[in-house]
C-alpha cells in the first residue's frame, strides 16, 4: 500500500485528531476538546460540545453536520475540504508539517547563537530556560524527552 492510498483511507477521526495534535496554542500545548468547543461557541456562535468532539475524535461518531465541520475547519485554520478531499488533506498536512518545522526554527536559532560560548555560560542559559519553562507552566526538558521516548 502506498503512502498516497494510506492517506486516502484516513478517517474523519484521524484527520480531526491530527489537527488537534498539530495545530497548537501559542504556548505549544495541544488544545483540549473543551477549549475548542468554547472557542467555537464564542467566536462562531456554533454549538459543538466537548463530549461530541471527543466522539468525533475517537470515531464513535462519524457523520457531523457541515456546520460543525465548517466551524472546526475555521477554528483550526484549514479549508473545510480538508475533511472531504484527499488532495486538500495532503496539501494541508504538508503545510502544517512545514509550520511545525518553522516553529522549531526558533529553537535552532537559540542553539546556533549559543555555539562557542563557555560551559559556564551555557549552564547559565540552560538554567534560565528551565526557569522560564517553569514560569510558563511547561514541563521540564527531561519530562518532554521521556514523554517523546515513550510514544
pTM given for the model? 0.65
Cβ atoms of residues 80 and 27 within 8 Å? no
Q: Given a cut of 60, is residue 148 above it in pLDDT? A: no
pLDDT band at 98 (very low <50, low <70, confident <90, very high): confident
Cβ atoms of residues 37 and 20 within 8 Å? no
Higher pLDDT, 148 or 64: 64
Task: Please report the domains of the chain, with CATH numbers, ordered by start residue.
Answer: 3-89 (1.10.260.40)
Cβ atoms of residues 136 and 27 within 8 Å? yes
Higher pLDDT, 124 or 7: 124
- Across all residues in the chain, what is the average pLDDT? 83
**E strands within the chain?**
none
Residue pointed to by grid coordinates 483540549: 32
The rounded distance, in Å, linking the Cα atoms of 19 and 40 is 15
Cβ atoms of residues 20 and 14 within 8 Å? no
Which of the residue ranges 6-20, 42-56, 114-128, 129-143 would you say has the lowest mean pLDDT? 129-143
Exposure of 103 in the CB half-sphere (CA atoms within 13 A): 14
List, for residues 55-92, the tens digit of each pLDDT value: 999 999 999 999 999 999 999 999 999 999 998 998 88
* Phi, psi angle pair for 97, to nearest 5°: -65, -40
C-alpha cell at 39: 472557542
Cβ atoms of residues 89 and 7 within 8 Å? yes
Alpha helices in the chain, H assignment, sequence order: 3-8, 12-22, 33-44, 50-58, 66-76, 86-114, 119-135, 141-150
Amino acid at each position: 500500500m502506498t503512502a498516497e492510498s494510506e492517506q486516502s483511507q484516513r478517517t474523519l477521526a484521524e484527520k480531526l485528531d491530527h489537527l488537534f495534535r498539530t495545530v497548537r496554542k501559542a504556548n505549544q500545548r495541544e488544545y483540549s476538546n473543551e477549549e475548542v468547543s468554547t472557542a467555537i461557541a464564542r467566536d462562531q456562535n456554533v454549538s459543538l460540545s466537548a463530549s461530541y468532539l471527543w466522539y468525533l475524535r475517537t470515531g464513535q461518531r462519524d457523520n457531523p453536520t457541515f456546520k460543525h465541520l465548517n466551524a472546526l475547519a475555521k477554528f483550526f485554520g484549514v479549508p473545510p475540504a480538508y475533511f472531504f478531499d484527499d488532495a486538500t488533506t495532503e496539501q494541508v498536512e504538508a503545510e502544517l508539517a512545514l509550520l511545525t518545522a518553522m516553529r522549531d526554527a526558533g529553537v535552532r536559532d537559540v542553539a546556533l547563537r549559543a555555539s562557542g560560548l563557555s560551559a559556564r555560560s551555557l549552564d547559565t542559559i540552560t538554567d534560565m530556560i528551565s526557569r522560564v519553562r517553569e514560569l510558563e507552566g511547561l514541563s521540564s526538558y527531561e519530562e518532554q524527552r521521556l514523554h517523546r521516548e515513550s510514544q
